[in-house]
Structure 1
Amino acid sequence: MATDDTSTRPARAFKVPRLPGDIMIYPMIAGLLMNTFCPQALEIGGFFTAATRGGANAVVAAILLFVGAGISFKATPGAVKTGVAVLIPKLALAAAMGLAVAWFFDDDLFGLSSVSIIGGISFCNMALYTGIMSEYGDEAEQGAVGILFLTAGPTVAMVILGVSGLASIPLGTVVGSVLPLVVGMVLGNCFPFVRDLLKPGANPAIAVLGFQLGCSMSLASFVTGGLSGILLGLVTVFVVGPVTCLFERLCGGTGKAAIACSTIAGTAMTTPAALVEVAPQYAAIAPVAYAQIATAVIVTALLAPILTGWYDKRFCAK
């Protein structure tokens, strides 16, 4: 007599579908939804609130330390080369498109202004770049984040818009932002056991970073920024990204760093307000530019990891 042993079979676990960059995307979506529909839960206090509202800088520093531990000193020239190959076309495209809109379209093309274009595209989400390259990049591509830091702050946008003498990034900030990566490299190269200890910590830290980034976003930004903000994000990913990728490949790179760099950082939202302080003529368009950049931050944060993973599988499998 046959017996039904279904009760003794182990329950079948739900299998989460994998997608490129999911180690960061899934936590980011979770944080985005929580901050949109139940932001009060993020303010419950204790360690949970500290993990969601404490800022991503500490986690980025930890990721840089972990990543640096796995980078050999031999990769340093390659990191500089990759960073420059990605940074030059990105800034050139931001300047060209922004100034073209200002000069030929009366500073209004489908709702986008020179402030939103230059202030958004000239930035790179270095936290996201670090997470993506930790999963898909080699040592040189991971270390290039030290060069990409030059896009931090509104200085680049101000220089392009003609107010270059009114803003600067303190030298200590630049050095301090690269220091965790350098410390990790020194420790990893000098002490192999430290390298083996730190390297596995990168992926868990990336997941935490993704959740933190999501908790700083809201779907309400899509409503405020509208279609013009979505357009800014799509242009950054599908126009700036491929052109920068081509330039990087011509310089001998794989192009992955360029795709991962086709993002807009949340700190780009500080640019419109900073410009108003030194150039009051931008006061009227600053609030709109702020909303558009906020929308583009979300669009690029969701698309860049997926496209980088697809590109890596499609063109870099060999």
Structure 2
Amino acid sequence: MHPKEIYMSESTAVEAPAAKEPFFKMSSIPGANILVPLLLGCLLNTLFPDLFKTLGSFTLGMTQQGASPLVGAFLLIVGTTISFKSAPAAAARGAIIIAVKQIVVVAVSLLILYVFNDNLFGISAMVMLAACTGANNAMYAGLMGTMGNEAERGAVAITTLVVGPPVTMIVLGAAGQAPIGWSLVGAILPIVVGIILGNLFPSFKKMMAPALSAIIVLVFFAMGSTMTFGQLINGGLPGILLGVICSVVFAIPVIAVDKLTGGTGVAGAAISSCAGANVATPAAMASVNGAMYGGAVLATATAQVAACAIVTAILTPLVTSWCYKHFEGQGNGDSKATTDKAAAAA
């Protein structure tokens, strides 16, 4: 999306800032609306780890303690941009990209376990599964909010279903299929409510549309304020390598299948990330089998997954932006505008 588009919508007459303004210039950076606030929040938390807690009140509420509420509001706004007519296409797109990702990650993890004696450059099968089976759905939604079409934006309702340690536990045989809990229902409810309200009340949809770009900045500053660059150091080279594998290597087959099944490829790139929530997966594994995954193994695995989450937070927007520009040149760049105009006409 051209930087100027971020400031324009059908429901607002606000003009884009002059090109000489620093904020406007930053928008030329791939994924700047996500990367810049995320890295700024991370930098502040690294240099001043007690800053947000000391300030407390609204500052703490909109940073370290506000990430989840802001993501919930963000998903509701995303939901208002999705029409009922695009829901089946959105569900199909979400199922395709998340299923392909799971298949690829599981296959590589089993290869590490049985062929490489559970050690590929310091990465174990459990760590690979813990970091890469899930995805940063807030980041996916943010990227699709500016680069995806309506179906790709709505796909987050499906990708959100793959959360936490169940996939890791199932693949390693440590536990059976985990039941779907209310927390999972709560994760997808905001976007469902947004879809319903946006379709029933067009004026509500029009009112919420301009808020999408603004809330993306707030969400990722809050997410960044929960991270530190020290986590990269603790994870070491294996953790950094894990992030590169997750964002770049695993993205290749997902993008390919996304394209082959009628997608733009952009959604496949955007889903190739590691969620911050995945950092808790090694601890869940240790609770199931402490002898194998506890102690030093747990500490190392947690650090590596945390490092992976930070690396993918940087790389995934860059890879997605590259895909968007690359496939736009091949004639796929009109998919977002075409889909959205069709939905608006309906």
- The TM-score with structure 2 as length reference comes to 0.85
2:8 aligned residue:
none
Q: 2: CA distance between counterparts of 1:224 and 1:265?
A: 18
The CA deviation string for residues 263-300 of structure 1, in whole angstroms up to 9 with x for no partner, is 00011111111011112212242211111110110110
Mapped contact 2:145–2:212 kept (Cα < 8 A): yes
Residue 98 to residue 37, structure 1, CA distance change in 2 (3 Å) = same
Mapped contact 2:110–2:125 kept (Cα < 8 A): yes
1:239 aligns with 2:228: no
2:217 aligned residue:
207
The CA deviation string for residues 99-132 of structure 1, in whole angstroms up to 9 with x for no partner, is 1111112211111001110111101001111111
Mapped contact 2:64–2:223 kept (Cα < 8 A): no
Unaligned segments of structure 2, at least 5 residues? 1-19, 335-346
User: Mapping of 1:260-271 within 5 angstroms?
Assistant: 260-271=270-281
Unaligned segments of structure 1, at least 5 residues? 1-11
Q: 1: CA distance between counterparts of 2:311 and 2:263?
A: 26
1:187 aligned residue:
197
1:302 aligns with 2:302: no
Mapped contact 2:42–2:227 kept (Cα < 8 A): yes
- Give the letter aligned to residue 224 of structure 1: N
2:102 aligned residue:
91
1:257 aligns with 2:248: no
2:337 aligned residue:
none
- Give the letter aligned to residue 278 of structure 1: V
**Larger relative contact order, structure 1 or 2 (CA cutoff 8 Å, min sep 6):** 1
The CA deviation string for residues 201-243 of structure 1, in whole angstroms up to 9 with x for no partner, is 1111110111011111111111110110010000111111111
- The TM-score with structure 1 as length reference comes to 0.92
Percent of aligned pairs with the same amino acid = 38
- Tell me the matched-pair count: 306
User: Mapping of 1:1-318 within 5 angstroms?
Assistant: 13-14=21-22, 16-17=25-26, 18-43=28-53, 44-165=55-176, 167-170=178-181, 172-280=182-290, 281-283=292-294, 284-316=296-328, 317-318=333-334
Q: Which has the larger radius of gyration?
A: 1
Partner secondary structure for residue 39 of structure 1:
coil
Mapped contact 2:132–2:246 kept (Cα < 8 A): yes
Displacement of 1:166 in angstroms is 6.8
What RMSD, in angstroms, separates the aligned Cα atoms of the two structures?
1.4
2:344 aligned residue:
none
Task: Pick which of 157-166 and 221-230 moved more.
Answer: 157-166
Q: 2: CA distance between counterparts of 1:166 and 1:148?
A: 17
Q: 2: CA distance between counterparts of 1:293 and 1:136?
A: 27
Partner secondary structure for residue 127 of structure 2:
helix
- Give the letter aligned to residue 85 of structure 1: I
Q: 1: CA distance between counterparts of 2:180 and 2:161?
A: 9
- Give the letter aligned to residue 46 of structure 1: S
Q: 1: CA distance between counterparts of 2:288 and 2:179?
A: 13
The CA deviation string for residues 165-213 of structure 1, in whole angstroms up to 9 with x for no partner, is 274441x223222221121111111211111111111111110111011
Mapped contact 2:239–2:304 kept (Cα < 8 A): yes
